[in-house]
Structure formats: C-alpha cells, structure tokens
Structure 1
Amino acid sequence: MSIPSVKNEEQYEALRDKGYSKEKSARIANTPKAGEKGGKAKPYDEWTKKELYEQAKNVGIEGRSKMDKEELIKALRNN
C-alpha cells in the first residue's frame, strides 16, 4: 500500500511517534475531524451501511465494497 498525501502533518508525526504504522497514521491524519474532541458521534451500530461505507472510504479501508454492515463495523473498530 502506498502512503497517501497527509492532510494533517502534525497529527501524522504525533501518531508515528506513538508507534503507529505509516499507513494507519496517514489514514487517521486524513480523516476529517479525527483529532477533535466531543464524543457526539453515535455508535457504529446505529450507523447505516452507507454511512459506514463512507467512513471506511475516508480512512482508507481496503475491500470495503465487498463488506456487509457487520464487517464494516469490525473493520472500522479495528482500524
């Protein structure tokens, strides 16, 4: 997997310093609002499959088009 361009370089470097892989650090740093606090998002179990798919797309989960709702939830939680 090639490393995508990083939108939030500061967050990317902080994640790398914590030991995250380049790929995972880039996915997190490229996720809109990933570093914001608030906890207002509903649990993945309450998301629609379309919402889960879009989030999986945002964080770069491969194989998402073949996943059902439960698989998307598991992939997002383990990402």
Structure 2
Amino acid sequence: MPAKNDPGPSVKDKETYEALREDGASKQKAARIANAQANDSIDHDSRKLEDRTKDELYEEAQEIGIEGRSDMTKDELIEAIRNS
C-alpha cells in the first residue's frame, strides 16, 4: 500500500503530480496530466495557476474542454481548471 502522499505506481511523473496537487488539481486530473507529460503527449506548465497569463489559462481550459471559457475572467478560468 502506498504512503499517504504517494500517488502510487500508476503515476509516472511524481514531481509534476505533486506540483499540480499543490496548485489544487484533483488527484485524477494531476495523475492524468503527470502521465501525459511523462509520455510527452502534452507540454503541461506546472507553474501555479495564478502565475500564468489569462491566455495560458485559456489554452489549458481549451485542452481540458471547459465550456464557456471565452467569457471567463482569469479568476474564473483558474477556478474552472481546478474544478475540472
């Protein structure tokens, strides 16, 4: 059984996973992005969401498939990304 903070063997990039969890991403989302990055299928930015530009947040929201993103403020994009 993995330790409490250990995401387990299914997560390929534990550093990215932990950074995303610290930014507020769900366990599932953090694992999906960390594994995709480990597979080089996407180039995910692990900086804090608040440190990114609205355009960068919009692009991530687009990748995730968040509807209504074009009408969202930066804060709304951050909230939508965290809740996806």
TM-score range, shorter-chain basis? 0.5 to 0.7
Aligned length: 47
Give the AA of the match of 2:79.
K
Instruction: Choose the corresponding residue for 2:54, options 38, 49, 59.
Output: 49
Which secondary structure does the structure 1 equivalent of 2:77 belong to?
Answer: helix
Give the AA of the match of 1:65.
S
Name stretches of at least 5 consecutive residues in structure 2 with no aligned partner.
1-28, 39-44
Aligned residue number for residue 62 of structure 1 = 67
Aligned residue number for residue 71 of structure 1 = 76
TM-score (norm 2): 0.50
Q: CA deviation at 1:51?
A: 0.1
Name stretches of at least 5 consecutive residues in structure 1 with no aligned partner.
1-27
Query: 1:15-59, CA deviations, whole angstroms, 9 ceiling, x for partnerless residues?
Result: xxxxxxxxxxxxx6xxxx71246xx71100000000000000000
- Percent identity of equivalent pairs: 46
**What does residue range 1-79 of structure 1 map to in structure 2 within 5 Å?**
34=33, 35=35, 36=37, 41-79=46-84
Give the AA of the match of 2:57.
L
